[in-house]
């Protein structure tokens, strides 16, 4: 019976899915990747995968356990106690499970953002997440966003987008988003955080953020959400 199950499973996925159906969206912090990707996923019936949340979960573990994100040896050693998994719910969308616990509520702080960018430089951290990301894309039609999706995780993606906007623009959007949620926010410090993270994510030796040669550049500085989603849907339908 197991053998037959295997054959059916295999046929089902071979017929319905290859890795190359995927859509890769990369870009700097605050470019609106997750908002846009979520909307597009809904429009075209894809599953949205936020890889930044996985890096954030690892960073959160380090912060919570007093492990210095700048200490590569300690971070790498601690990884053996870290298990990251994704789950999905109707209400919350993607849920990141850190050792079985839903950590969505804890991974968006400025401290975890900075720690995620720091720990994402390390080979051990990236290797831990790479297989997980590829396995998800092998099973489902995904829109996956991050920094190295088109260049490294899914080099055969059907469509690659490099989504960006000026640093001023990205900082202002994040500022307004926080204010809307009634949270305290300082535009200058948000901008400084964004620039520091860009710097680190673009200049690390392993899988740095950069536009893949076959990625389509979408600069959203002068676009609203609807316009960006429409542009990406057009790229999805026409390939350009
Ligand atoms: O997309 P985000 O802002 O949630 O990502 C948080 C950090 O994780 C980002 O500053 C760098 C790292 N990251 C990465 O190195 N590679 C990815 N594919 C996604 C995120």
Which has the minimum average pLDDT: 10-24, 61-75, 169-183?
A: 10-24
Confidence bin at 9 (pLDDT 50/70/90):
low
11-34 pLDDT per residue, tens = 554 444 455 799 999 999 999 999
135-147 pLDDT per residue, tens = 999 999 999 999 9
The closest of 41, 51, 14 to 232, measured between CA atoms, is 41
Q: What is the pLDDT of residue 15?
A: 42
97's CB contacts (< 8 A; 6+ apart) are 57, 83, 84, 85, 86, 87, 103
Give the whole-angstrom CA distance, residue 69 versus residue 51.
19
> DSSP state, 84?
E
**3 state DSSP class of 163:** strand
146 CA distance to ligand 1 middle (Å)? 6
The Cβ of residue 236 has, within 10 Å, a number of other Cβ atoms equal to 17
User: What is the CA angle 104-109-113, rounded to 5?
Assistant: 95
What would the mean pLDDT of 144-153 be, rounded to a whole number?
A: 98
pLDDT of 115 > 90? The answer is yes
156-169 pLDDT per residue, tens = 999 999 999 999 99
Give the whole-angstrom CA distance, residue 84 versus residue 59.
11
Determine what percent of the chain is predicted with pLDDT higher than 70.
92
Q: What is the pLDDT of residue 92?
A: 86
Smallest CA separation from ligand 1 atom 2, residue: 52
Probe ligand 1: pick from 35, 61, 120, max atoms within 8 Å of CB?
Answer: 120
What would the mean pLDDT of 117-135 be, rounded to a whole number?
A: 97
Q: What is the pLDDT of residue 63?
A: 98
Kindly give the number of the ligand 1 atom that is closest to the alpha carbon of 33.
1
Kindly give the number of the ligand 1 atom that is closest to the alpha carbon of 153.
18
Q: What is the pLDDT of residue 183?
A: 87
Q: What is the pLDDT of residue 16?
A: 44
pLDDT of 235 > 50? The answer is yes
Which has the minimum average pLDDT: 2-16, 74-88, 191-205, 209-223?
A: 2-16
Q: What is the pLDDT of residue 6?
A: 60
Smallest CA separation from ligand 1 atom 16, residue: 147
Q: What is the pLDDT of residue 7?
A: 60
Q: What is the pLDDT of residue 101?
A: 98
Q: In the structure, which protein residues have their CB atom closer than 6 angstroms to any atom of ligand 1?
A: 29, 51-52, 55-56, 116-117, 120, 146-149, 197, 201
What would the mean pLDDT of 204-213 be, rounded to a whole number?
A: 98
Tokens 């996923």 — which residue?
41
What would the mean pLDDT of 90-95 be, rounded to a whole number?
A: 91
Confidence bin at 8 (pLDDT 50/70/90):
low
């Amino acid at each position: 019976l197991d053998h037959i199950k295997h054959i059916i499973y295999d046929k089902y996925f071979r017929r319905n899915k290859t890795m190359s159906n995927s859509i890769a969206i990369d870009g700097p912090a605050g470019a609106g990747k997750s908002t846009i990707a979520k909307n597009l996923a809904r429009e075209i019936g894809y599953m949205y995968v936020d890889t930044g949340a996985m890096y954030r979960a690892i960073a959160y573990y380090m912060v919570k356990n007093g492990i210095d994100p700048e200490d590569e040896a300690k971070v790498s050693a601690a990884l053996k106690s870290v298990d990251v998994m994704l789950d999905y719910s109707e209400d919350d969308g993607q849920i990141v499970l850190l050792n079985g616990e839903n950590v969505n509520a804890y991974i968006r702080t400025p401290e975890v953002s900075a720690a995620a960018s720091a720990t994402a430089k390390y080979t051990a951290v990236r290797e831990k997440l790479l297989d997980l990301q590829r396995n998800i894309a092998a099973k489902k039609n995904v829109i996956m966003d991050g920094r190295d999706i088109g260049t490294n995780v899914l080099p055969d993606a059907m469509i690659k987008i490099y989504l960006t906007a000026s640093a001023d623009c990205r900082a202002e959007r994040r500022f307004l988003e926080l204010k809307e949620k009634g949270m305290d926010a300082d535009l200058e410090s948000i901008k400084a955080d964004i620039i520091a993270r860009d710097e680190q994510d673009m200049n690390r030796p392993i899988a740095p953020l950069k536009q893949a040669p076959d990625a389509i550049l979408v600069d959203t500085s002068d676009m609203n959400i609807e316009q960006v989603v429409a542009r990406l849907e057009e790229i999805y339908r026409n390939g350009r």
